[in-house]
Amino acid sequence: MGKRDLSWAVPMMRSGYAGRGLVYVAVAGLSLWAIWRGGQAEGTSSAFRTLETSTWGVVVLSLIGAGLLAYALWRVTCAIYDLEAYGSDGKGLVARAGQVTTGVVHGAIGVGAITIVLAAGGGTGNRSSIVQAVGWLMSLPAGIWLVGVAGLLTIGSGIYYYLKAWNQKYLSFLRANEFTLRWNTVLRAGVVAQATVVTIIGAFIVYAALRANPAQAGGLGQTFSWLKQQPYGQALVIAICLGLLAFALFCFVNARYRIVPRTVSDDRIETLARRLKPSGA
């Protein structure tokens, strides 16, 4: 029996990463614009609601929603068919479970974006989706424990992103070319920024569990608010926004140059990891 053709998943992957990149361009870009005008950085929900006030913004929201749904399908498909060749041992199964989790999270954000477009300004209130999700979890039996575990897993995801930036494992999934070589430092900085945001959000969720108060949880909006209260807070917020723009570039680069191992028949394709290996990277 011949090798299964899984190339149909590649367009899904490209659309998904592009949609994910648009999210960070919207959030970080609108936040920097607001700061420039004397305002405050915006979270994901606030950024989406800003976008819905203009025709071009609704178009961007629609693209974000479609892209994130594609990303969700890609991550689930990736896990089912093991497209990134993690294997079926314990470590591989954990990695594949993580793919499903990230797919579900981004799918929910995508549904939120599409809901805002379809609601035509109807809105769903000012509470962030994370606060609503934490509140729902807390209403379940042993809900506080579930929220605590979710927070710890989120912190674990942040640590994973830090390790990803440190050991640059993402290089094994990118094609080597002049662009990826030149911009790798920016890509790495973007992963660090994403790691920082995810870790802080995880800490908020754990704190919400300890206080048994879903309002203590929060997403990017609360992360920005907390950072601003620290010494040199405004500079920290700006740095994170710039870092998230770098992470948006990371997403767009993946959309264009990512290698999906199970769909590649030519082993001679040079990865960025292989290109940098002789230089000791």
Does residue 27 contact residue 42 with C-beta atoms inside 8 Å? yes
Q: Which two tokens stand for residue 194?
A: 């994403």
- With a cut of 60, say whether residue 215 has pLDDT above it: yes
How confident is the model over 82-89, as a mean pLDDT?
Answer: 82
107-117 pLDDT, tens digit each: 877 777 777 77
Mapping DSSP to helix (H, G, I), strand (E, B) and coil, where does residue 128 land?
Answer: coil
pTM for the model stands at: 0.86
CA distances from 94 to 86, 87, 227 (A): 9, 10, 32
- With a cut of 60, say whether residue 1 has pLDDT above it: no
- With a cut of 70, say whether residue 128 has pLDDT above it: no
227-270 pLDDT, tens digit each: 989 998 899 999 999 999 999 999 999 999 998 877 766 566 78
Give the CA diameter of the chain: 64
Compare 123 and 184 and report the one with higher pLDDT. 184
How would residue 169 be classed by pLDDT, with cut points 50, 70 and 90?
confident
Does residue 206 contact residue 148 with C-beta atoms inside 8 Å? yes
